[in-house]
Structure 1
Amino acid sequence: MNRMKQLQLIKNVINLNFQRSCSSKSGEIYTSSDFQNGIRKITMCHGKTRNSLSVAMMENLLKEIENNRDDPQLRAIVLAGDGPIFSAGHNLKELTEDCGRAQHMHIFNLCAKLMDAIVQHPVPIIARVDGLAAAAGCQLVAQCDLAVCTEKSKFSTPGANFGIFCSTPGIALARSVNKSTALKMLLTGEHITSDEAKSSGLVAAVTPTPEALDEEINKLCNAIRSKSRAVIELGKRFYYKQIREDLKTAYNLGGNVMVDNINGVDGKEGIKSFSEKRKPVWRHEI
């Protein structure tokens, strides 16, 4: 091994150890998960950091989200936060100057990977919010396919208050709420209420209590569960694909997708069951 390769190997080991020292303590529990009736509920449960999206938390979330993603029994994922704070965003202790640019880049690359995993997942992912979702925590809510919250919930992107503009949270925010709401949150750092979140499109529904929140999420999950898994996956994938295209291209792509869907296994069954006035029997195939 030549000297340059030896130096690079040493550098890689140092960087890896440094990233570990700047991330999390081993043996701590960051998430819990359960799977019932086709629904996986993933709960962030690291209260002492206010469920911050630390390296360890994001690694745990990625692992849980990707767990058995192609299991035909899996129909939806509910993402929740234990305690009064859904997530306070990135752990600023991992973004200090001492941690270095390489660690900082690792954190934002990992966050981008987490957000993309939500978009690319075959089943809908629903955010269950009962409290504050701030900065990258708000980003996480905005990136989920659906979000439901309680009346007491608040949402903010306060990074500018600390000299760090919420640029990456703004990516998801700008794609889920109207311009004036997104820029108000990003430029002022002020939170919006649950009602403002509903009117701006950040959440689909607001409930008075946590119990009512669970009822609303159960309704959503039951509605999703009654459909063909394959058709829901097709629809979710096409939704995120077409919003990146111009209108003419989107319609051309959409027509092809619908023709394939109609002539697929569950598409044929859906039309046949409608004609025969009966419930469809899905094979969960396109």
Structure 2
Amino acid sequence: MQSPSSELVLRADHNGITTLELNRPERYNALSEELLDSLQQHLDQIAEDTSVRCVVLAAAGKAFSAGHDLKQMRGKPRLDYYQQLFQQCAGVMQSIQQLPVPVIARVHGIATAAGCQLVASCDLAIASTEAQFAVSGINVGLFCSSPAVALSRNIPTKHAFDMLVTGRFIDAQTAAQWGLINEAVAPEALNEAVAQKVATILTKSPAAIRYGKSMFYKQQQMDLASAYAYAAEVMAKNMMEEDAAEGIDAFIEKRTPNWNRSSQSF
């Protein structure tokens, strides 16, 4: 059964902030192939939209996301289908990191398996203290291999492997301590905490953030010398931006910088 709205992902835009809301609450926002396709389309559109400064990934209903739609998966028991599905999901996760603007997960309720992977793939994550996280495929005979990629890049190895082989749930406070999320806040404070994070990001140079996000993930895959060489080149190009000159002048003159909001240079 599809959600009451025909849109599986809802997009709202306001003052440079784009909110994408998973909209399949009756299935705990399970990541069906249709929902993944809708999310991918939105991410592709945002990648080309220079008016977007920050993205908030949220969800309708009681859960953030329960992961893949197991009923849909069992209905198509073919290796080629499963290969395509998991590649589709991997594409969505990589698209989040490839966006030139920060993506913040606003997490409430459960985030399990590919839903936990979705949280781990976002640049930042703020969760309600009522949220819980797990990569629980092992409980149904399926090791969460794809979620393990994102999870192991967020939290220490032994914590990640423990979650993967036991299927255990961790609470939001533990998720924050381990680094899966940035902070855990009371449910009634979740919206305000996300809004404050977004507001802080919007005070920064759009050009600098675009340079920085791309550099951050690329250098993680390099050896130390290559990372420094690449970072130095990116920083030199960033220095040639109008915003860098404006920001440094503003610092020297002890005033608030006036960023170029329409910069499309990166």
TM-score, length basis structure 1? 0.87
Contact 2:26 2:61 in 1 (8 A): no
SS in 2 for 1:67: helix
Partner of 1:4: none
Question: Which segments of 5 or more consecutive residues in structure 2 lack a partner in the other structure?
Answer: none
Q: Give the fraction of aligned pairs with identical amino acids, expressed as a percent.
A: 37
Partner of 1:269: 246
Work out whether 1:206 is the aligned partner of 2:184: yes
Counterparts of 1:40 and 1:221, CA distance in 2: 10
Root-mean-square deviation (CA, aligned residues, Å) is 1.9
Deviation at 1:140, TM superposition (A): 0.2
Given candidates 42, 56, 62, the residue that maps to 1:78 is: 56
Deviation at 1:125, TM superposition (A): 0.7
> One-letter code of the match for 1:276?
E
Work out whether 1:244 is the aligned partner of 2:221: yes
Greater Rg, structure 1 or structure 2? Answer: 1
Partner of 2:19: 41
Question: Which segments of 5 or more consecutive residues in structure 1 lack a partner in the other structure?
Answer: 1-22
Deviation at 1:34, TM superposition (A): 1.0
Partner of 1:170: 148
Deviation at 1:71, TM superposition (A): 2.7
Counterparts of 1:102 and 1:249, CA distance in 2: 37
Pick closer, same or farther for the CA change 1:218–1:97 going to 2, 3 Å. Answer: closer
Work out whether 1:90 is the aligned partner of 2:68: yes
Contact 1:24 1:55 in 2 (8 A): no
Counterparts of 1:146 and 1:102, CA distance in 2: 33
Work out whether 1:143 is the aligned partner of 2:132: no
Contact 1:31 1:61 in 2 (8 A): yes
Q: Size of the alignment, in residue pairs?
A: 263
Contact 1:24 1:56 in 2 (8 A): no
Deviation at 1:106, TM superposition (A): 1.5
Contact 2:9 2:20 in 1 (8 A): yes
Counterparts of 2:248 and 2:6, CA distance in 1: 51
Counterparts of 1:205 and 1:260, CA distance in 2: 33
Written as runs of structure 1 = structure 2, the 5 A alignment for 1:1-286 is 28-96=6-74, 98-209=76-187, 211-284=188-261, 285=263
SS in 1 for 2:257: coil
